[in-house]
Amino acid sequence: MDPKKRSSDKAAQEMIQHMADSGIENAWDRLEAQQPQCGFGNLGICCRICSMGPCRIDPFAEGAQLGVCGADADTIVARNFLRAVAAGVSAHSDHGRTVAEVFLAAARGEAKDYKMKDLTKLYKLAEELGVETKDRTANEIGVDVGKIALAEFGKPEGTQLMALRAPKPRQAIWKKQGVTPRAVDREVTESLHRSGMGVDQDYKNIIKHASRVALADGWGGAMLATELQDVLFGTPYPGRGEINMGVIRDDAVNIIVHGHEPILSEMIAAASMDEELLAEAKKVGAKGINVAGTCCTANELLMRHGIPIAGNFLNQELVIATGAIELMAVDVQCIMQGLAEVAKCFHTKLITTADKAKIHGVEHVSMDESSALDTAKKLVRTAIDNFKNRGPVHIPKEKQYAVGGFSFESIKYMLGGRFRASFRPLNDNIINGRIRGIVGVVGCTNPKMTQDFTHTTLTRELIKRDILVLTTGCATIACGKQGLNNPSVSLELAGPGLREVCETVGIPPVLACGSCVDNTRILVACSEIVREGGLGEDLADLPIAGVCLESIHEKAVAIGQYFVASGALVVFAEDILQVLGSKNVCEYLFNGIEKDLGGRWATESDPYKAAELIHKHIEKKRDALGINEEKERKLYDMEERRSLVV
């Protein structure tokens, strides 16, 4: 066990060692116990969707090449891929639906603790959705917007309204290919139907539906989640926060919110500022109530309130092992069951709050929107009461400043100012070559890889090449932990062109755009870049790419597929995609699909090679746009770059 192999984050290394010394298991240990993992599964060639199986295809062509029903490797791999995408879509979109329900309840006055905060965004959304705004109250408008949004998940006919935000030529491609997304529920249901035994057995047709269901997420469920959260909790604007386990305080009551839906974390954040509760915390000898987040809910809180982030996916168990956490409240997605065992070793109270996500043996407090703040206060009080039970603590010092809060609106505002908010300066700087292109670095952390290493190395390599990086999800936190969201650290690492633009505008070269549902902010931004003009007619013309070299969840595959279906190059680490067991599926995903949809997949696990691959792709797109200058491009090293700066 070498902590440095397990994580590139110093605080995590310290806690991994500490857990090993204390004899407490974590995900890395459990991964070791799982070795060797199933090679068939890794290649995507095992099928257990009917009870004639489970079947598996021999990858060396010596054993069985067909399942009992006759399905070949292409069908099996494609079906598994579609099921992964559909599962990912269902996660984001169920999150989106919950937000829509709370939004509607808030507008109706049935969820008294939630109030619409960003009315400007409400009016814009209303206009977009054709809701009358004249002489109506915000709540009346909100009710109509909420109803329309909620219907998007299950409406019996028509296609996703958010898809109308895409450039017209993109919409035409979707129409021609027959992948314009209908209701989210319908696309997910159809995915399960088509991938069941004896239904769709043409791998290209199966992957086509993977595009359609993924688009229902990116230009549907997840986009609505972001939009409605912004209206309800406020659209993020840049602000400073702190990231890493050093944000845990030894003198305060520490509460960790972990999961995805800001419905819970917003209320706990509010409750932690309650005067009465603060007084109670003082009474038990604490100097305050410290709320910090892990995983995507952490991104939501940092983006909107500057609330600190304790870590990303693989930090969740480590955080508890500090012994300083009075309470961890979790909702949905990416919650390891292993938390329950770790929490048992300390005084930490682990509490589940979403009725659809309980853990056996763990206390459950149901979070109901009609009494959300009261429930949150109850949780905070539980944490305060638990402070006295704290034993010895071990808190790493490591933390970094980070600037978060780069929503679509705030980027537009930063670039152009309130009165002429516009993407023009960005387009101009891409055209003149100071910025070569834009890349979304997204994804999770995974114990199979050295935590955070690929995200951060790749990000450094990209900004060095004058490529603007937008991050979401746990990749954001990875970058944040290593200072990349801190302009004073990351500007030094950026190429001269990118650096100049970022300094002029006052933004870091790595923009933290939020949680995983907020990948849709990137889609909206790219559509705006097309609309602004000078960089082609369609998303597929843009010098952009998406990349995810470390991830765990099916959600990441769904995100990848909606970026591909939106016209982008998407690079994943090989192991994550689990499609290598079919040559035909690979050939289609890595090449053929580009003819149909303009985007394609690529696999590369090495961050340096991935940066090279992406850079080449971006330059190719620039060539095609005719915006590449004649003079030879040059990669500056540190010394040369310093000499450029006066």
Interatomic CA distance for residues 245 and 292, integer angstroms:
9
> Would you say 572 and 560 are in contact if contact means Cβ atoms under 8 Å apart?
yes
Buried b (16+ CB within 10 A) or exposed e, 319-330: bbbbbbbbbbbb
Shortest separation between residue 365's beta carbon and ligand XCC, angstroms: 22
Query: Should residue 540 be labelled a site residue for ligand SF4 when binding is judged by CB under 6 A?
Result: no
Q: Which residues contact 247 (CB under 8 A, 6 or more apart)?
A: 290, 292, 308, 309, 310, 399
- Only one of the segments 4-12, 69-77, 432-440, 473-481 lies at the binding site for ligand SF4 (rule: CB under 6 A); that segment is 69-77
Query: Should residue 47 be labelled a site residue for ligand SF4 when binding is judged by CB under 6 A?
Result: yes
Buried b (16+ CB within 10 A) or exposed e, 410-421: bbbbbbbeeeee
Query: Should residue 512 be labelled a site residue for ligand XCC when binding is judged by CB under 6 A?
Result: no
Query: Should residue 313 be labelled a site residue for ligand XCC when binding is judged by CB under 6 A?
Result: yes
> Would you say 45 and 76 are in contact if contact means Cβ atoms under 8 Å apart?
yes
Burial class (CB in 10 A: 0-12, 13-18, 19+), 380: buried
Residue 474: which of ligand XCC, ligand SF4, none does it interact with, CB under 5 to 8 A by kind? ligand XCC
Taking alpha carbons only, the member of 383, 377, 373, 307 closest to residue 350 is 383
- Only one of the segments 65-73, 176-184, 391-399, 624-632 lies at the binding site for ligand SF4 (rule: CB under 6 A); that segment is 65-73
Query: Should residue 365 be labelled a site residue for ligand SF4 when binding is judged by CB under 6 A?
Result: no
Residue 48: which of ligand SF4, ligand XCC, none does it interact with, CB under 5 to 8 A by kind? ligand SF4
Residue 555: which of ligand XCC, ligand SF4, none does it interact with, CB under 5 to 8 A by kind? ligand XCC
Buried b (16+ CB within 10 A) or exposed e, 338-348: bbebbbebbbb
Residue 552: which of ligand XCC, ligand SF4, none does it interact with, CB under 5 to 8 A by kind? ligand XCC
- Applying CB under 6 A, among 334, 354, 525, 542 the residue interacting with ligand XCC is 334
**Which residue in this structure is represented by tokens 């050939």?**
587
- Applying CB under 6 A, among 49, 231, 243, 257 the residue interacting with ligand SF4 is 49
Q: Which residues contact 456 (CB under 8 A, 6 or more apart)?
A: 8, 478, 479, 482, 484
- Only one of the segments 136-144, 492-500, 549-557, 574-582 lies at the binding site for ligand XCC (rule: CB under 6 A); that segment is 549-557
List phi, psi (to 5°) of 585: -65, -45
Interatomic CA distance for residues 331 and 264, integer angstroms:
7
Query: Should residue 83 be labelled a site residue for ligand XCC when binding is judged by CB under 6 A?
Result: no
Shortest separation between residue 91's beta carbon and ligand XCC, angstroms: 8
Shortest separation between residue 357's beta carbon and ligand SF4, angstroms: 29
Residue 52: which of ligand SF4, ligand XCC, none does it interact with, CB under 5 to 8 A by kind? ligand SF4
Shortest separation between residue 556's beta carbon and ligand XCC, angstroms: 6
- What are 598's two structure tokens? 């303009």
Shortest separation between residue 203's beta carbon and ligand SF4, angstroms: 14
- What are 410's two structure tokens? 């705030």
Interatomic CA distance for residues 16 and 400, integer angstroms:
19
Q: In this complex, which beta carbon is closest to ligand XCC, that of residue 516 or of residue 568?
A: 516
- Applying CB under 6 A, among 163, 295, 343, 570 the residue interacting with ligand XCC is 295
Interatomic CA distance for residues 549 and 564, integer angstroms:
16
Residue 68: which of ligand XCC, ligand SF4, none does it interact with, CB under 5 to 8 A by kind? ligand SF4
Query: Should residue 473 be labelled a site residue for ligand XCC when binding is judged by CB under 6 A?
Result: yes
Interatomic CA distance for residues 415 and 504, integer angstroms:
9
- Applying CB under 6 A, among 45, 55, 430, 468 the residue interacting with ligand SF4 is 55
Contacts (CB under 6 A) with ligand SF4, residues 178-237:
197
List phi, psi (to 5°) of 81: -65, -50
Interatomic CA distance for residues 89 and 215, integer angstroms:
9
Sheet holding 239-243, edge to edge: 363-364, 349-352, 327-330, 253-258, 289-294, 309-311, 239-243, 400-404
Query: Should residue 552 be labelled a site residue for ligand XCC when binding is judged by CB under 6 A?
Result: yes
Taking alpha carbons only, the member of 563, 580, 572 closest to residue 602 is 572
DSSP run (H or E) holding 213: helix 203-216
- Only one of the segments 63-71, 369-377, 496-504, 545-553 lies at the binding site for ligand XCC (rule: CB under 6 A); that segment is 545-553
Q: In this complex, which beta carbon is closest to ligand SF4, that of residue 25 or of residue 72?
A: 72
Helices 275-283, 372-386: crossing angle, 10 deg rounding: 10
Buried b (16+ CB within 10 A) or exposed e, 224-245: bbbbbbbbbbbbbebeebbbbb
x/- letters, 96..115, toward ligand XCC (CB under 6 A): --------------------
Query: Should residue 41 be labelled a site residue for ligand SF4 when binding is judged by CB under 6 A?
Result: no
Q: In this complex, which beta carbon is closest to ligand SF4, that of residue 55 or of residue 462?
A: 55
Shortest separation between residue 70's beta carbon and ligand SF4, angstroms: 7
Q: In this complex, which beta carbon is closest to ligand SF4, that of residue 158 or of residue 198?
A: 198
Query: Should residue 245 be labelled a site residue for ligand XCC when binding is judged by CB under 6 A?
Result: no
Q: Return residues touching ligand SF4 (CB under 6 A).
A: 47-50, 52-55, 67-69, 71, 76, 197
Q: Return residues touching ligand XCC (CB under 6 A).
A: 260, 295-296, 312-313, 333-334, 443-444, 473-474, 515-516, 551-553, 555
